[in-house]
Amino acid sequence: MLDLDNTLVDRDAAFREAVTAFLAEHHLPVTDLTWVMTLDASGYTARHNVAEAMTDRYRGMVPSTVIHALLEHGAADRVVLTAPSRRALDKALADGWTCVIVTNGLLAQQEAKIRHAGLDRLVQSWVISEAVGHKKPEPEIFHAAADAVGVPLNGAWVIGDSPHADIAGAHMLGLGSVWVSNGQPWAQDSYTPTHIAADVATAIDYVISTAR
């Protein structure tokens, strides 16, 4: 089970590009990039809260519809799957692994990212929190992922960048996990991942080699 944002794709980089273009198009201070990225908090701030704050800041300068369009489509139109990540997924599939994306977020937005990055052709299925009514780390979303591909949870692995959503979810279910650190140190005391990897390609390779 693979997380999407900042695991399979660099959602923050895509959103940063979209915000940079938004600021330039509307002749807004380039220094506001830091403010927007901090406000967004890697997508963990509720979208309506981000929209409200940006609407207040840019009132009279940018229509609220434009701000909502940025938040709904900006990152989705810019995400990419790196070559190493693609090769790792190809190898996992060739070795007989069943790969399913498990992601929190809005159905239309997350599916747009999956399809834009070409992940729809590299995984067997995906489960999005809005569609199933449960968010990571709730056990129900992981069970829904297993049901989607007809594979039992026993023996499954969770790969993701979020200590709370991904690794805590795996811990609660007794599953193996790989935390994609993205250069950050592990800071949780109550649970730990099975393994820490610098990126998703390395994480996938670790799971393949460990389970042999």
- With a cut of 90, say whether residue 186 has pLDDT above it: yes
Identify whether residues 53 and 87 lie together within a single domain: no
C-alpha–C-alpha distance, residues 194 and 179, integer Å: 8
Q: Rounded distance, CA 45 to CA 99, Å? A: 28
Write down the pLDDT at residue 131: 97
The reply to whether 36 falls in a domain is yes
Note whether residue 182 is domain-resident.
yes
Statement: residue 171 has pLDDT above 90: yes
Residue 53 backbone class (left: φ over 0; alpha: ψ -120 to 50; beta: rest): alpha
- Residue 37 lies in domain: 11-73
CATH number at residue 175: 3.40.50.1000
Under 8 Å between Cβ of 52 and 45: no
Whether residue 103 sits in one domain with residue 41:
no
**In the predicted model, is pLDDT for residue 100 greater than 70?**
yes
Q: Answer positive or negative: Cα dihedral of 85, 90, 93, 95.
A: negative
The pLDDT of residue 211 is above 80? no
What tens digit of pLDDT does each residue of 112-131 get?
999 999 999 999 999 999 99
Q: Tell me: do 27 and 93 sit in the same domain.
A: no
Tokens representing 50? 């981000």
Average pLDDT over residues 40-63: 96
Average pLDDT over residues 157-176: 98
Same domain, 88 and 67: no
- Taking 80 as the threshold, does the pLDDT of residue 212 lie above it? no
Q: Which of 48, 73, 98 is the last residue of a domain?
A: 73
φ/ψ of residue 153, rounded to 5: -70, -30
Instruction: With respect to residue 24, please indicate whether it lies within any of the assigned structural domains.
Output: yes
The pLDDT, as a whole number, for residue 24 is 98
Q: Which pLDDT band, with edges at 50, 70 and 90, does 57 fall under?
A: very high
Mean pLDDT, range 155-168, rounded to an integer = 97
Question: How many domains are contained in the chain?
Answer: 2
Contact indicator for 184, 195 with CB cutoff of 8 Å: no
Q: How buried is 143 (Cβ within 10 angstroms: 0-12 exposed, 13-18 middle, 19+ buried)?
A: middle
- Please tell me the distance from the alpha carbon of residue 169 to that of residue 161, in angstroms, as a whole number: 12
Q: How confident is the model at residue 74 (pLDDT cuts 50, 70, 90)?
A: confident
Domain end call among 45, 73, 101: 73
- How far apart (Å, rounded) are the C-alpha atoms in residues 79 and 59? 29
Q: Are residues 68 and 96 in the same domain?
A: no
How high is the pLDDT of residue 164? 96
Cα-Cα-Cα-Cα dihedral of 151, 149, 10, 167, to 10°?
Answer: -30
Are 133 and 67 found together in one domain? no
The answer to whether residues 69 and 130 belong to one domain is no
Instruction: Please indicate, yes or no, whether residues 58 and 141 belong to a single structural domain of this protein.
Output: no
Q: What is the mean pLDDT of the chain?
A: 96
Q: Does the residue 4 lie in any domain?
A: no
pLDDT surpasses 80 at 166 = yes
Pick from 165, 162, 166, 168: which is nearest to 182 by CA? 162
Alpha helices in 31-167 (DSSP H): 32-40, 47-57, 64-73, 83-94, 107-116, 129-132, 139-149
Residues 164, 190 within the same domain? yes
Residue 1 lies in a domain: no
Continuous segment of H or E residues that includes residue 170: helix 168-173
Are residue 52 and residue 116 in the same domain, yes or no?
A: no
pTM (predicted TM-score) = 0.93
